[in-house]
Amino acid sequence: MTSTEAHTEGESHGNGSHEGEASPYLELSREAWADLAHETVSPLSAEELERLRGLSDRLDLTEVEQVYLPLSRLLSLYVSAAGGLHREQEAFLHRRTPPRTPFVMGVAGSVAVGKSTTARVLQQMLAHWPEHPNVALITTDGFLYPNAELERRGLMQRKGFPESYDRRALLKFVVDIKSGKEEVEAPTYSHLVYDVVGDEKVVIKSPDIVIIEGLNVLQPAGVRGDGRTGLGLSDFFDFSVYVDAGTSHIRQWYVERFLRLRETAFRDPHSYFRKYAALTRDEAVAEAERIWDTINGPNLTQNVLPTRSRATLVLRKDKDHSVRYVRLRKI
């Protein structure tokens, strides 16, 4: 672990470094970050927020206004700057300016950390800024290999690990977006049946912004058999967010979410996890902890957490799910 990564696991010092130590990151406390939203009104109502809130997230309008409103404004500035750079480059090349390709951002983080909620809130808030009303959100779950293929490869117990995804298809999807294709399709995933839905597609048409959310979106490119390094998904990102928290907190959130699902979605007769609905509370806690300790926890420490330093911005959460500080890479 690098000194930068070790610091992120510890306490915030307000400026992204230990006293007297230079850092490529700017770190702002919750209070300092919230001050940036002082003169901006949140575009989301309480009803819209409730629809966006994740199953286990303690997310209210205050959190949206103090954390996500400044972030949405910063992202909007990045989008505008990318458009200006595009025009300048085309002028430099003496080319007639074609439409700019979509601004692509990644949202990464552990299972149960709240990255899906972060992605949904950002999608809605960014779409409220008039400069870019068409904001698409894609999750990488749809690019998991189907269960039958995972079984064939012996990967069912490693679902969510990098090797369980069709990385070639996912990379092609992002390349098509960044190539300026007007219409791009992505596969869909059902958490109810715990599998890819082969006959359903998500179609995005001429988006201004595309948000790609998933566990491993910040994974670096792998080395090919011939020794060459290929392209990674994040090579095509214009901005990336990592939703972070202490591992012990995330583990507890996962158990809490499992218990809620046991009372709700797991009771659906079509649910892949229907067998868990009959567990006692103690049995459910033990099963959730087993799943975390054998699958989600190892995936976090081995694959997801090491990509944190690759993010443009880190949202560090406290044990109550509130964002404690924000860490932004300097430019």
* Annotated binding residue 111: yes
pLDDT of 12 above 60: no
Average pLDDT of span 110-123? 94
Helix (H, G, I), strand (E, B) or coil at 22: coil
pLDDT of 11 above 60: no
Give the pLDDT confidence score for residue 56 in this predicted structure.
Answer: 52
pTM score, whole prediction: 0.90
- Domains of the chain (ranges, CATH numbers): 3-218+226-329 (3.40.50.300)
Give the pLDDT confidence score for residue 4 in this predicted structure.
Answer: 37
Average pLDDT of span 199-227? 90
* Annotated binding residue 110: yes
pLDDT of 286 above 80: yes
Average pLDDT of span 84-89? 91
Give the pLDDT confidence score for residue 139 in this predicted structure.
Answer: 97
Using alpha carbons only, give the angle 42, 60, 38 rounded to the nearest 5 degrees: 35
The three-state DSSP-derived secondary structure of 247-289 is HHHHHHHHHHHHHHHHHCHHHCCCCCCHHHHHCCHHHHHHHHH
DSSP state of 303: I
* Annotated binding residue 112: yes
Distance CA 295, CA 165 (A): 15
Average pLDDT of span 205-221? 95
Query: Mean of the per-residue pLDDT values for the chain?
Result: 89
Give the pLDDT confidence score for residue 57 in this predicted structure.
Answer: 65
* Annotated binding residue 109: yes
Residue in 253, 268, 316 with CA at minimum distance from that of residue 55: 253
Give the pLDDT confidence score for residue 10 in this predicted structure.
Answer: 42
Write the pLDDT tens digit of every residue in 141-190: 999 999 999 999 999 999 999 999 999 999 999 999 999 998 999 999 99
Helix (H, G, I), strand (E, B) or coil at 48: helix
Query: How many Cα atoms are found within 13 Å in the side-chain-facing hemisphere of 229?
Result: 6
Write the pLDDT tens digit of every residue in 30-68: 999 999 987 677 777 777 777 776 655 667 888 888 999
Distance CA 151, CA 231 (A): 27
* β-sheet bridge partners, residue 138: 212
- Buried/exposed 171-191: b ≥16 CB within 10 Å, e otherwise: bebbeebbeebeebebbbbee
Write the pLDDT tens digit of every residue in 219-249: 998 777 777 888 899 999 999 999 999 999 9
Provide the 10 A C-beta neighbour count for residue 90.
14
Write the pLDDT tens digit of every residue in 236-282: 999 999 999 999 999 999 999 999 999 999 999 999 999 999 999 99
Residues in the chain: 331
Using alpha carbons only, give the angle 82, 124, 29 rounded to the nearest 5 degrees: 75
Write the pLDDT tens digit of every residue in 13-35: 444 445 557 889 999 999 999 99
- Supply the DSSP string of 129-189, one letter for each residue: STT---EEEEEGGGGBPPHHHHHHHT-GGGBTBGGGB-HHHHHHHHHHHHTT-SEEEEEEE
Residue type (1 letter), 184: V
